Protein backbone atom coordinates (compact mmCIF):
# COMPACT_ATOMS: atom_id res chain seq x y z
CA UNK A 1 0.00 0.00 0.00
CA UNK A 2 2.14 2.82 -1.28
CA UNK A 3 -0.62 5.40 -0.85
CA UNK A 4 -0.61 4.94 2.95
CA UNK A 5 -0.40 8.22 4.85
CA UNK A 6 1.01 8.38 8.34
CA UNK A 7 -1.56 9.05 11.06
CA UNK A 8 0.25 12.17 12.25
CA UNK A 9 0.00 14.26 9.07
CA UNK A 10 -2.47 17.18 9.46
CA UNK A 11 -4.66 15.98 6.56
CA UNK A 12 -4.84 12.38 7.80
CA UNK A 13 -5.52 13.52 11.39
CA UNK A 14 -8.44 15.67 10.18
CA UNK A 15 -9.71 12.82 8.03
CA UNK A 16 -9.65 10.36 10.98
CA UNK A 17 -11.41 12.84 13.29
CA UNK A 18 -14.07 13.50 10.63
CA UNK A 19 -14.63 9.80 9.83
CA UNK A 20 -15.23 8.98 13.48
CA UNK A 21 -17.04 12.22 14.31
CA UNK A 22 -14.57 12.82 17.11
CA UNK A 23 -14.86 15.94 19.28
CA UNK A 24 -12.04 16.96 21.63
CA UNK A 25 -12.69 16.79 25.35
CA UNK A 26 -11.01 19.66 27.15
CA UNK A 27 -11.27 17.82 30.48
CA UNK A 28 -8.99 15.06 29.12
CA UNK A 29 -6.32 17.49 27.93
CA UNK A 30 -6.44 16.15 24.37
CA UNK A 31 -3.97 17.75 21.96
CA UNK A 32 -2.96 15.62 18.99
CA UNK A 33 0.46 16.06 17.41
CA UNK A 34 0.41 16.51 13.64
CA UNK A 35 4.11 16.44 12.73
CA UNK A 36 5.55 12.97 11.90
CA UNK A 37 9.16 14.22 12.06
CA UNK A 38 8.77 15.20 15.71
CA UNK A 39 7.29 11.79 16.50
CA UNK A 40 10.22 10.09 14.80
CA UNK A 41 12.58 12.28 16.83
CA UNK A 42 10.83 11.14 20.04
CA UNK A 43 11.32 7.47 19.09
CA UNK A 44 14.97 8.23 18.25
CA UNK A 45 15.49 10.02 21.60
CA UNK A 46 14.07 6.98 23.41
CA UNK A 47 16.37 4.67 21.37
CA UNK A 48 13.56 2.24 20.63
CA UNK A 49 14.47 -0.95 18.80
CA UNK A 50 13.13 -4.50 18.40
CA UNK A 51 14.66 -5.38 21.77
CA UNK A 52 12.50 -2.78 23.57
CA UNK A 53 9.02 -3.07 25.04
CA UNK A 54 7.14 0.21 25.26
CA UNK A 55 4.30 1.53 27.41
CA UNK A 56 2.40 4.51 26.05
CA UNK A 57 -0.17 6.55 27.96
CA UNK A 58 -2.92 8.41 26.10
CA UNK A 59 -2.35 7.23 22.51
CA UNK A 60 -5.13 9.50 21.17
CA UNK A 61 -5.70 8.45 17.56
CA UNK A 62 -2.44 6.49 17.44
CA UNK A 63 0.04 8.95 15.90
CA UNK A 64 2.94 8.22 18.28
CA UNK A 65 1.79 4.60 18.72
CA UNK A 66 2.30 4.02 15.01
CA UNK A 67 5.92 5.25 15.12
CA UNK A 68 6.59 3.16 18.24
CA UNK A 69 5.05 0.06 16.64
CA UNK A 70 7.37 0.37 13.65
CA UNK A 71 10.47 0.24 15.86
CA UNK A 72 9.62 -1.60 19.11
CA UNK A 73 9.14 -5.24 19.99
CA UNK A 74 5.72 -4.61 21.57
CA UNK A 75 3.66 -1.57 22.52
CA UNK A 76 1.14 -1.44 25.34
CA UNK A 77 -1.05 1.68 25.12
CA UNK A 78 -3.38 2.83 27.92
CA UNK A 79 -6.36 4.89 26.75
CA UNK A 80 -9.01 6.18 29.17
CA UNK A 81 -11.39 7.73 26.60
CA UNK A 82 -13.87 5.07 25.41
CA UNK A 83 -14.63 7.14 22.29
CA UNK A 84 -11.06 6.57 21.09
CA UNK A 85 -11.07 2.76 21.37
CA UNK A 86 -12.87 2.17 18.01
CA UNK A 87 -10.71 4.90 16.42
CA UNK A 88 -7.53 3.10 17.54
CA UNK A 89 -8.88 -0.26 16.35
CA UNK A 90 -9.20 1.34 12.94
CA UNK A 91 -5.94 3.34 12.78
CA UNK A 92 -3.66 0.68 14.30
CA UNK A 93 -5.09 -2.42 12.60
CA UNK A 94 -1.93 -2.91 10.54
CA UNK A 95 0.24 -3.19 13.70
CA UNK A 96 -0.17 -6.59 15.40
CA UNK A 97 2.49 -5.72 18.03
CA UNK A 98 0.23 -3.09 19.66
CA UNK A 99 -2.21 -3.81 22.46
CA UNK A 100 -4.55 -0.97 23.46
CA UNK A 101 -5.85 -1.24 27.02
CA UNK A 102 -9.01 0.69 27.80
CA UNK A 103 -8.14 1.72 31.34
CA UNK A 104 -6.98 4.59 33.52
CA UNK A 105 -3.24 3.97 33.86
CA UNK A 106 -3.33 5.28 37.45
CA UNK A 107 -5.60 2.35 38.37
CA UNK A 108 -3.71 -0.23 36.35
CA UNK A 109 -1.77 -3.12 37.82
CA UNK A 110 1.35 -2.41 35.81
CA UNK A 111 3.26 -5.52 36.88
CA UNK A 112 0.45 -7.92 35.97
CA UNK A 113 -0.36 -6.26 32.65
CA UNK A 114 3.24 -6.04 31.50
CA UNK A 115 3.87 -9.69 32.39
CA UNK A 116 0.87 -10.68 30.26
CA UNK A 117 1.84 -8.45 27.33
CA UNK A 118 5.63 -8.55 27.35
CA UNK A 119 6.65 -12.24 27.44
CA UNK A 120 10.14 -11.33 26.17
CA UNK A 121 12.08 -9.78 29.00
CA UNK A 122 13.37 -6.78 27.11
CA UNK A 123 13.88 -3.38 28.79
CA UNK A 124 10.64 -1.48 29.36
CA UNK A 125 10.46 2.18 28.36
CA UNK A 126 7.61 4.64 28.84
CA UNK A 127 7.12 6.91 25.84
CA UNK A 128 4.12 9.23 25.81
CA UNK A 129 2.59 12.58 25.06
CA UNK A 130 1.20 13.07 28.56
CA UNK A 131 -2.06 14.97 29.13
CA UNK A 132 -1.05 18.30 30.73
CA UNK A 133 -3.53 18.15 33.59
CA UNK A 134 -2.25 14.83 34.93
CA UNK A 135 1.45 14.75 33.94
CA UNK A 136 2.91 14.56 37.46
CA UNK A 137 0.59 11.84 38.88
CA UNK A 138 1.27 9.61 35.86
CA UNK A 139 5.03 10.03 36.10
CA UNK A 140 5.05 9.41 39.86
CA UNK A 141 2.81 6.35 39.35
CA UNK A 142 5.55 4.78 37.21
CA UNK A 143 8.43 5.94 39.40
CA UNK A 144 6.85 4.61 42.59
CA UNK A 145 5.65 1.34 41.09
CA UNK A 146 7.62 -1.89 41.34
CA UNK A 147 7.85 -1.94 37.54
CA UNK A 148 11.41 -1.82 36.24
CA UNK A 149 11.24 1.09 33.77
CA UNK A 150 14.68 1.77 32.34
CA UNK A 151 13.77 5.05 30.70
CA UNK A 152 10.95 7.52 30.20
CA UNK A 153 10.73 9.88 27.24
CA UNK A 154 7.66 11.99 27.76
CA UNK A 155 6.15 15.12 26.31
CA UNK A 156 4.78 17.68 28.73
CA UNK A 157 4.28 21.38 29.24
CA UNK A 158 7.69 23.07 28.93
CA UNK A 159 7.28 24.71 32.33
CA UNK A 160 6.82 21.31 34.04
CA UNK A 161 9.82 19.86 32.18
CA UNK A 162 11.88 22.87 33.38
CA UNK A 163 10.84 22.15 36.96
CA UNK A 164 11.73 18.46 36.76
CA UNK A 165 15.16 19.06 35.21
CA UNK A 166 16.00 22.11 37.40
CA UNK A 167 19.16 22.63 39.44
CA UNK A 168 19.26 23.85 43.08
CA UNK A 169 19.15 27.61 43.54
CA UNK A 170 16.90 28.19 40.52
CA UNK A 171 13.29 29.36 40.49
CA UNK A 172 12.09 26.14 38.86
CA UNK A 173 13.69 23.88 41.50
CA UNK A 174 11.21 22.37 43.95
CA UNK A 175 9.80 19.23 45.54
CA UNK A 176 8.80 17.82 42.13
CA UNK A 177 12.43 18.18 40.94
CA UNK A 178 13.61 16.17 43.94
CA UNK A 179 10.86 13.53 43.70
CA UNK A 180 11.85 12.73 40.10
CA UNK A 181 15.63 13.24 40.30
CA UNK A 182 15.81 10.94 43.31
CA UNK A 183 14.91 8.04 40.96
CA UNK A 184 15.99 9.29 37.53
CA UNK A 185 18.49 11.49 35.73
CA UNK A 186 16.50 14.21 33.96
CA UNK A 187 17.26 16.31 30.89
CA UNK A 188 15.25 18.18 28.29
CA UNK A 189 15.84 16.59 24.86
CA UNK A 190 14.08 19.22 22.72
CA UNK A 191 11.22 21.73 22.60
CA UNK A 192 8.00 21.13 20.64
CA UNK A 193 6.21 24.29 19.45
CA UNK A 194 2.51 24.64 20.21
CA UNK A 195 1.78 25.15 16.49
CA UNK A 196 2.11 21.43 15.64
CA UNK A 197 -0.94 20.32 17.64
CA UNK A 198 -4.66 20.06 16.98
CA UNK A 199 -6.19 21.84 18.89
CA UNK A 200 -3.32 24.21 19.56
CA UNK A 201 -2.43 24.47 23.28
CA UNK A 202 -1.52 27.82 24.87
CA UNK A 203 2.09 26.89 25.61
CA UNK A 204 5.05 25.07 24.07
CA UNK A 205 5.89 21.53 25.11
CA UNK A 206 9.17 19.82 25.86
CA UNK A 207 10.42 16.27 25.50
CA UNK A 208 11.88 15.19 28.80
CA UNK A 209 14.25 12.24 28.93
CA UNK A 210 14.45 10.39 32.24
CA UNK A 211 16.97 7.60 32.72
CA UNK A 212 16.67 5.31 35.73
CA UNK A 213 19.57 5.50 38.16
CA UNK A 214 21.15 2.20 39.28
CA UNK A 215 20.21 3.26 42.81
CA UNK A 216 18.49 6.39 44.17
CA UNK A 217 20.52 9.61 43.94
CA UNK A 218 20.97 9.76 47.73
CA UNK A 219 20.78 7.32 50.63
CA UNK A 220 17.94 7.99 53.03
CA UNK A 221 16.82 6.17 56.17
CA UNK A 222 13.12 6.61 55.38
CA UNK A 223 11.96 7.46 51.84
CA UNK A 224 8.48 8.54 52.95
CA UNK A 225 9.88 10.96 55.53
CA UNK A 226 12.44 12.28 53.02
CA UNK A 227 9.67 13.23 50.58
CA UNK A 228 7.58 14.70 53.41
CA UNK A 229 10.55 16.91 54.33
CA UNK A 230 11.17 18.09 50.76
CA UNK A 231 7.47 18.95 50.31
CA UNK A 232 7.47 20.84 53.62
CA UNK A 233 10.57 22.82 52.63
CA UNK A 234 8.86 24.31 49.58
CA UNK A 235 5.47 24.96 51.16
CA UNK A 236 5.98 28.71 50.95
CA UNK A 237 8.91 29.57 48.71
CA UNK A 238 9.48 32.96 50.33
CA UNK A 239 9.81 31.52 53.80
CA UNK A 240 12.98 30.19 55.36
CA UNK A 241 13.53 26.51 55.87
CA UNK A 242 12.97 27.03 59.61
CA UNK A 243 9.54 28.62 59.14
CA UNK A 244 8.42 26.08 56.57
CA UNK A 245 9.45 23.11 58.72
CA UNK A 246 7.55 24.45 61.72
CA UNK A 247 4.48 24.86 59.53
CA UNK A 248 4.53 21.11 58.80
CA UNK A 249 6.02 19.54 61.91
CA UNK A 250 4.65 21.89 64.59
CA UNK A 251 5.79 24.73 66.82
CA UNK A 252 6.01 23.16 70.27
CA UNK A 253 9.29 23.63 72.16
CA UNK A 254 9.98 19.91 71.81
CA UNK A 255 9.56 20.00 68.02
CA UNK A 256 11.65 23.18 67.72
CA UNK A 257 14.47 21.58 69.72
CA UNK A 258 14.30 18.47 67.51
CA UNK A 259 14.38 20.53 64.30
CA UNK A 260 17.21 22.77 65.55
CA UNK A 261 19.33 19.78 66.58
CA UNK A 262 18.67 18.00 63.25
CA UNK A 263 19.66 21.08 61.24
CA UNK A 264 22.81 21.40 63.34
CA UNK A 265 23.77 17.72 62.79
CA UNK A 266 23.19 18.12 59.03
CA UNK A 267 25.21 21.36 59.02
CA UNK A 268 22.38 23.38 57.48
CA UNK A 269 21.64 27.00 58.33
CA UNK A 270 17.92 27.25 59.30
CA UNK A 271 17.80 30.68 57.67
CA UNK A 272 18.30 29.21 54.19
CA UNK A 273 15.46 28.68 51.75
CA UNK A 274 14.43 25.23 50.52
CA UNK A 275 15.41 25.95 46.91
CA UNK A 276 19.10 26.36 47.91
CA UNK A 277 19.45 22.83 49.30
CA UNK A 278 20.84 20.04 47.13
CA UNK A 279 19.46 16.49 47.16
CA UNK A 280 22.43 15.48 49.33
CA UNK A 281 21.63 18.21 51.88
CA UNK A 282 17.97 17.18 52.03
CA UNK A 283 19.07 13.57 52.56
CA UNK A 284 21.46 14.60 55.34
CA UNK A 285 18.70 16.59 57.07
CA UNK A 286 16.11 13.83 56.67
CA UNK A 287 18.52 11.24 58.09
CA UNK A 288 19.41 13.54 61.00
CA UNK A 289 15.72 14.04 61.76
CA UNK A 290 15.14 10.28 61.82
CA UNK A 291 18.23 9.60 63.93
CA UNK A 292 17.36 12.37 66.34
CA UNK A 293 13.66 11.53 66.87
Q: Known binding site for S-adenosyl-L-methionine: residues? A: 31, 33, 58, 79, 104, 129
Rounded to a whole number of angstroms, the distance between the first and last alpha carbons of the chain is: 69
Is the separation of the CB atoms in 42 and 113 below 8 Å? no
Is the separation of the CB atoms in 273 and 240 below 8 Å? yes
Is the separation of the CB atoms in 125 and 54 below 8 Å? yes
Q: Which residues contact 260 (CB under 8 A, 6 or more apart)?
A: 270
CB atoms within 10 A of CB 51: 10
Q: What is the DSSP letter of 104?
A: -
Q: Which residues contact 47 (CB under 8 A, 6 or more apart)?
A: 151
Q: At what angle do helices 241-249 and 253-266 cross, to 10 degrees?
A: 130
- Collect contacts of 197-202 with beta carbons under 8 A, ≥24 apart: 197/31, 197/32, 197/33, 197/34, 198/10, 198/13, 198/14, 198/17, 198/31, 198/32, 198/34, 199/24, 199/31, 200/31, 201/31, 201/132, 201/157
- Cite the annotated binding site by residue number: 31, 33, 58, 79, 104, 129
Amino acid sequence: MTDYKEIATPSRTKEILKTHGFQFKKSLGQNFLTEPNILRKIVETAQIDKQTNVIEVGPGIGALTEQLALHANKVLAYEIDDRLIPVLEDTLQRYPNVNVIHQDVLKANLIETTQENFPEEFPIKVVANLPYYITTPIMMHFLESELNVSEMVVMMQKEVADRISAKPGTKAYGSLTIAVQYFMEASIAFIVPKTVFIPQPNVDSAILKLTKRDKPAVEVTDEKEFFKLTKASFQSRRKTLWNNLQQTYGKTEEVKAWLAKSLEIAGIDPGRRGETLSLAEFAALSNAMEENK
